[in-house]
Amino acid sequence: RTVLGNVMFGLEIGGVPKETAKKKAMHYIKMVGLEGFENAYPHTLSGGMKQRVGIARAIAYDPEVLLMDEPFGSLDAQTRKVMQGELIRIWEEMRKTVIFVTHSVIEATYLADRIIVMTARPGKVKGTIEVDLPRPRDYTEKKYLRIRKKVLDLLEEEVTKSLKISPKIN
């Protein structure tokens, strides 16, 4: 399937008439910055472009909540940073709830309004940290670094407990 076909797929499965599905798909293809690539096939796209197709496909169905599980994990650092910015731009336009699963503390602190740290098996909520920072976020700002440290401290505590090792000595 082409980019257009991929984005239309969920809509068609959901019973949306083909012409309506095409119009909606084109709207979201434009939103994610892939206008001009609607007839391209996945094997011709970069990793970041493939992620944009996935985002367009997910939001085209207009979900109440968008679940994203490590969507940028396989991307290089530069593309990952660009995609984080794109996700924020799209979120600001749509204002939908996004549940974003990541193992990157930097990514979580950069993207989130609220970070939920989970325990090891069984997975339970270890702690919740509110991220009250303006956007765009500055990785070097003191408040950003304090929030990041809170997350890292919770994670270290959990890893120490789950591995039954002594915590670091300061």
Whether 88 maps to a domain, the answer reads no
H helices within the chain, ranges in order?
3-13, 18-31, 47-60, 77-94, 105-111, 142-163
Whether 137 maps to a domain, the answer reads yes
pTM value?
A: 0.82
Q: What is the pLDDT tens value at each position of the chain, 170 positions in all?
A: 999 999 999 899 999 999 999 999 999 999 999 999 999 999 999 988 999 999 999 999 889 999 999 999 888 899 889 889 989 998 998 899 999 999 999 999 999 999 999 988 788 999 999 999 999 999 999 999 999 999 999 999 888 887 876 666 65
Strand, helix or coil for residue 117: strand
The number of domains in the chain is 1
Amino acid 127: pLDDT: 95
Whether 117 maps to a domain, the answer reads yes
Judge contact between 151 and 129, C-beta under 8 A: yes
Whether 92 maps to a domain, the answer reads no
Whether 14 maps to a domain, the answer reads no
Whether 80 maps to a domain, the answer reads no
Own/partner contacts of 137-141, CB < 8 Å, gap of 24 or more, are 137/109, 137/110, 139/106, 139/110
Interhelix angle 77-94/47-60, nearest 10 degrees: 20
C-alpha to C-alpha distance for 137 and 26, rounded to whole angstroms: 30
Amino acid 85: pLDDT: 92
C-alpha to C-alpha distance for 98 and 80, rounded to whole angstroms: 17
C-alpha to C-alpha distance for 168 and 153, rounded to whole angstroms: 11
Whether 127 maps to a domain, the answer reads yes
Amino acid 160: pLDDT: 83
Amino acid 120: pLDDT: 81
Residue 167: give the domain boundaries: 112-170
Neighbours of 5 (CB within 10 A): 15
